[in-house]
Structure 1
């Protein structure tokens, strides 16, 4: 009998330990959701992602990417075809075009934290939320095209699924159409997220958000609005106006400036020949991004900044950096009204900052154009 009880309790302990282990495993395995461990790809063992179960949240500002810069690499051993690689690059460009986020190729020494687009056996399209530190993988083997990768990058930037908002029951109904797969037991993609974790950033429910999930396991139906009209909804292949607004709030994007990805272009300060902008203070950022192997030539075609108490360009100035952010080498700083000569980058990035503290006088600001070129 004693032997029976000993055997019984040993089995109980083993069952409990197995249950804990399985919970640990299923906590990582999320389909088209919020990320798994990285496992073997192409027969090569790769390290596990650290801190996968850490609190995933746009409420946690420590998980934002510093200055909106996201270093990346594409796993060329993952077997991506040309179309898949083009889709990855197009998705990154989409975020860059509409927001102040910028993606830069990862440098092994400069970038400790970065993302890696790759294949993951446990899921075909998935990502962590925010910057979890070190290398973090983004599975993009079956995301349904560019829109699906834009969605996953939204998670990388720091966004949850829109249909998991804490107030979502006021706007939508979720119908489960078939039994939930085991992988969803720990963290279902149709479970509401606590308001302590999910920050709506003061924006209304976005029926057109790229951050809706697209899987067959459930159906999302919009409820009637206060006017009795049922709104249209569905995840499109691009960012919505509210998606863009929320991102700019989350990363505190400057009110003026943008990222240029074309081979040539032109831009001006916001008050350039605009009487409605008089007596305004501005801080603007422009990024110009050429393809690898190209350089950038910037021509300042007009310059007229406020000079009072600014002889050393402290308060009103135009800065040009040889790179993608303010930590890059400073190529030049201008103020006053003397038009400088052309400025040329050493690489394929250029970062321009404009600061205007004018409050009483009218000044044009500046105008500029650029072009990219091969040596």
Structure 2
């Protein structure tokens, strides 16, 4: 009798959920769900001011959540944020008067900026579609400075992009970024990995693994061990 409360999207990975929700939005996003800034589109997070500052052994990130969300929806966001506390030195705290903070709101689609921006930095989690642990983790990882797996600088060693199958006009979603890979391997299980049919115009794969062209991926429900390792390395959590 309670099955109506469960969304079928719960059984999709983060990338599939985000692509589905963002398919018809008008906002000019980069790489599918990255909000462009005035000075850059999807530059690598290498600037000094890109990372959230570390104080002592923790990186404190103030957050504020829009009052438009129901208690249940707020709890989904909060639960996803707490997963970072379990395995990294990131600590989300309620914003009081901090100048720089993350603001979760129900905008048009699921999207985030890459790395720390100035003042109130929006993360859009549309009420109808974006509120899943994997999606919240994905967008927060962008805000912490991380890009999608399939655009990392060494991706051509691991995947092949089949441009002939990409929806015309969406090719830029697959452009490589000069990423800092933090000595971690390419990870098909990353919550930042697109699915093999992402932005397909004809139902054929747009991304295939070089090691196994039939490998399925992009279905992560949560951060992988490599996602966690990258946070800990970028923010020097273990030092």
Matching residue of 1:73? 64
Which of 79, 88, 100 pairs up with 1:90?
A: 79
Give RMSD over aligned pairs.
Answer: 2.7
Identify if the C-alpha distance between structure 1 residues 151 and 55 changes in structure 2 by more than 3 Å, giving closer, same or farther: closer
Count of aligned residue pairs for this structure pair:
201
Matching residue of 2:93? 104
User: What is the rounded CA distance, in whole Å, between the counterparts of 2:38 and 2:99 in structure 1?
Assistant: 15
Structure 2: tracts of 5 or more residues without a match: 1-25, 201-205
Structure 1 runs, 4 residues or longer, greater than 4 Å off: 229-232
Give the C-alpha shift of residue 152 in structure 1.
0.4
Structure 1: tracts of 5 or more residues without a match: 1-25, 37-49, 256-375
For residues 336-375 of structure 1, the aligned pairs below 5 Å read none
Identify if the C-alpha distance between structure 1 residues 100 and 161 changes in structure 2 by more than 3 Å, giving closer, same or farther: same
Matching residue of 2:221? 237
Which of 109, 112, 116 pairs up with 1:131?
A: 116
Give the C-alpha shift of residue 178 in structure 1.
5.0
Which of 199, 217, 240 pairs up with 2:199?
A: 217
Larger radius of gyration: 1
Residues 13-63 of structure 1 show CA distances to partners (whole Å, capped at 9, x for unaligned) of xxxxxxxxxxxxx99434742115xxxxxxxxxxxxx74637743222321
More strand by share: 1
Matching residue of 1:166? 153
> What's the TM-score once normalised by structure 2's chain length?
0.74
User: What is the rounded CA distance, in whole Å, between the counterparts of 1:216 and 1:55 in structure 2?
Assistant: 18
Give the C-alpha shift of residue 223 in structure 1.
1.3
Secondary structure of 1:189 counterpart: helix
More helix by share: 2
User: What is the rounded CA distance, in whole Å, between the counterparts of 2:149 and 2:43 in structure 1?
Assistant: 15
User: What is the rounded CA distance, in whole Å, between the counterparts of 2:42 and 2:35 in structure 1?
Assistant: 13
Q: Larger RCO: Structure 1 or Structure 2 (Cα < 8 Å, ≥ 6 residues apart)? A: 2
